[in-house]
Amino acid sequence: MSSYSILEEHFSRLHHLQHVEAMLSWDAATMMPAKSHQARADAMATLSLLIHESLNSTTLKESFEQLDEASLTDEEKKSVREMRRTWRLATCLPADLVKQQSLAAAKCEHGWREQRPDNNWGGFVSNFRDVVRLAREEATYRSKVTGLSLYDALLDKFEPGMTSEKLDVIFGELKSWLPNLIRQITERQKGEAVQLPKGPFSIDTQKQVGEKIMTLFGFDFDRGRLDVSVHPFCGGVPEDVRLTTRYNEDDFTQSLMGVVHETGHAKYEQGLPESLRHLPVGKARSTAIHESQSLFMEMQIGRSSAFLESIHAILIDEFGDQDALSLENLKTLYLKVKPDFIRVDADEVTYPAHVMLRYEIEKDLVEGKIEVEDIPMLWKKKMQMYLGVDTADNVKNGCMQDIHWSIGAFGYFPTYTLGAMYAAQFMAAMKKTLPNVEERIAKGDLTDLQAWLSQHVWTKGCLDTTEELVFNATGETLNTEYFKMHLVNRYLSTEK
């Protein structure tokens, strides 16, 4: 058996272990009984250790050393590039650290579920300190191997090729115009009358609506499902995609767009190259590219007037007719810009401010410039500065609102805004080759749009680097001007 065949077989087995890990994580977030927490945490820690040991096997090391890359096809060379990256990301960490992180994250995340509703920062901190300590250890190990700064070594897990130096430039540009744009839009919208839909809207009905819209987007229910969790997410593997959302019987609007968002993630997963899904090269390119697909569906399509027109009849059929569900009111409602506490409920204009403040805090936290105890005050200061919102004594809607830090996902937050920028750039490129995009969306015909995404993003997997993928799809690397133009055109144009 050739060295490449041995590598391919090894990473195929790893894919199956990761499938099991994903299902255990999904179940823990959706259906696991509360008192099963510790047993599940122990099981997942053991599984994390097995995956780590698999990547640290002598077989992999010897196969990489003996590999004759000159004899490989271009696709196989790219496959080896991604295998090596996965291997290096794992082998730089000691097994004991991997196990400790899994246990600490499970304990902190489980506690967060009860502590957040109780506004219990003290209880959260008692677990969170360990998560941060271990993240700093991880960053130190990764930094030594990659030569990156402590924070960049963690960012690299999610967004290879991106650095805090580049982010500071991107976010610096954003800060130069975003605050003024928020003020312009909120001032313009002051005179707009908007009605909130009047519930109750049963959870069963909301789920039916969500599934109808998932069908409109072409989601394959034979390879996935929709469930409920505290924090919406999309997980699993391409052959078994698991989406979640959360419902509020008084307001269906947030869960509806949450489903559209997660369906964007799911469509990317289901569209990855089938012959390569078991290998690192067949997986999603990066977290920002993943977010670009969910935000393309939610922001570029989902909140557009054309899309709301296409689903209006579904909403009336399922929820009944009322003034608040008129098409014009829905358009106004879904384009309402209002600085507020919660990131996942934020509009697309204020959302980047939520991301920037998290990035600034977590970067300093990982690099030891601040400590856990400093977070609430820094959060309060930055929320006031960026959004004019006061989070004093309100940590449940402040620094405890997200799941990411509780599970040690430092370096993840910047990918949300990078994803929004990529999404805007993809749409601008798509419009050059697909005329009458809005008309297609208004008719509920997303076939050509998704074919474009499949051709330029989904089926590429990790065959191209992020820069190559974006350049090949749009003719240029990341250009933040498209995001600015999208927001200005949508929110400040004379016609909406």
Q: Looking at the annotation, which residues are catalytic?
A: 262
What per-residue string of b and e applies to 276-307 under the rule 16 or more CB within 10 Å gives b? bbbbbbbbbbbbbbbbbbbbbbbbbbbbbbbb
**Cβ proximity of 237 and 19 under 8 Å:** yes
- Here the contacts of 342-345 (C-beta below 8 Å, separation 24 or greater) are 342/397, 342/401, 343/401, 343/402, 344/231, 344/232, 344/258, 344/401, 344/402, 345/254
Is the backbone of residue 273 left (phi > 0), alpha (psi -120 to 50) or beta? Answer: beta
DSSP state of 196: P
Pairing of strands 224-228, 234-237: unpaired
CA distances from 342 to 184, 206, 358, 394 (A): 21, 21, 12, 12
Angle of helix 305-319 relative to helix 327-334, nearest 10 degrees, comes to: 120
Task: Evaluate whether 286 touches 85 at the Cβ level (below 8 Å).
Answer: no
DSSP 8-state assignment for residue 43: H
Upstream peptide bond of 200 is cis (omega within 30 degrees of 0): yes
Would you give the DSSP letter of residue 436? T
Is residue 251 within 8 A of residue 196, CB to CB? The reply is yes
d(C-alpha 313, C-alpha 330), whole Å: 12
Instruction: Compute how many other C-beta atoms are within 10 angstroms of the C-beta atom of residue 33.
Output: 7
